Amino acid sequence: MRGRMNDVKSYVPPFALDAPMEGGAIGEVVESRADGLKAGDKVLHMAGWRDEAVLPASAVTVLPNLGVDPQAFLGNLGLTGGTAYFGLLDVAQAKEGDIVFVSAAGGAVGSAVVQIAKAKRMTVIGSARGAEKCDFVRSLGADAAIDYTAGPIAKSLAAAAPTGIDVYFDNVGGDHLDAALAVARRDARFAICGMIDAYNGGQPSALRYIMRVISARIRIQGFIFTDFMARMPEFYAEMAPWIASGQVKSRDTIVEGLERMPEAFLGLFEGANTGKMLVKL
């Protein structure tokens, strides 16, 4: 969403001025003349920051009955969980026994990565901002949590991963990416999902260890969740039972009221959220 506030060519068009912000939301059908869609149905849609919307039936998806809270479809069973799942298992080809480093591990995507990696018997190191979030990351099952405000991430990561890492799930970019390059093992895979460091700063990333892609044969791969939309059934089949059984948990940050949307949004860039940042109308 932050990317779409820049007037540049990207994988989706920029937001238009004076138009409602688009974004994933769960709504309740109030009125419908469409087949298979009746008042009271809970639906997923992209109409975003608004109280009400009139939408064609093709623009909404009735939530499948997977035995989980509807809210999960905005989090661990939605875009963020799917990003974690396909990024970790498909893009980064992480497998049992791998040592995985994930940045912003207290965030929505990161906390899902930690839990999926543990469900798949990997060793997981997460970075987060501050001691409290690090506690949360450990509570999700991470083998180690790094408070990146406590010192240079390169030093902390080298200490937490003395034998190196096989996989890096990047939500941050910048010095986190550089630290991961420095400790990557032979044939390491990096899934690049977000670079929140770069969204607002505009500072070029200084990568002192980029040359290690050669000696360690590192593969760096960018990806977008929507590339994997056709594979949602596979994701639901594995993730929904984990959520239903409590093996994968969420601790969403919920802000109440449409008028607090901007506050909630800006908070994402200051680490104000633990887990998914949600706004309840």
Q: Please report, as ranges, the residues that interact with a second copy according to CB under 8 A.
A: 3, 10-11, 173, 177-178, 192-195, 198, 204-208, 210-224, 227
- Give the nearest distance from C-beta 94 to a second copy in angstroms: 16
DSSP-assigned beta bridge partners for residue 166: none
Q: Which is nearer to a second copy, 205 or 247 (CB)?
A: 205
For the bound state, the minimum distance from the C-beta of residue 218 to a second copy, rounded and expressed in Å, comes to 5
d(CA 80, CA 111): 9
Residue with tokens 């993730």: 239
What SS3 class is residue 221? strand
> In terms of CB distance, is 218 or 248 closer to a second copy?
218
Q: How far apart are alpha carbons 37 and 196 in whole angstroms? A: 38
Task: Report yes or no: 171 and 148 within 8 Å, Cβ to Cβ.
Answer: no
Residue among 37 and 210 whose Cβ is closer to a second copy: 210
| Residue type at 182 in one-letter notation | A
- The H or E element spanning position 154 is helix 153-160
The CB-of-281 to a second copy minimum distance in angstroms stands at 30
Instruction: Please identify, using beta-carbon distances, which residue of 136 and 225 lies nearer to a second copy.
Output: 225
Nearer to a second copy, 69 or 227 (CB): 227
d(CA 22, CA 4): 10
In the complex, the smallest distance separating the C-beta of residue 49 from a second copy, rounded to whole angstroms, is: 23
Residue 80 CB, nearest approach to a second copy (Å):
15
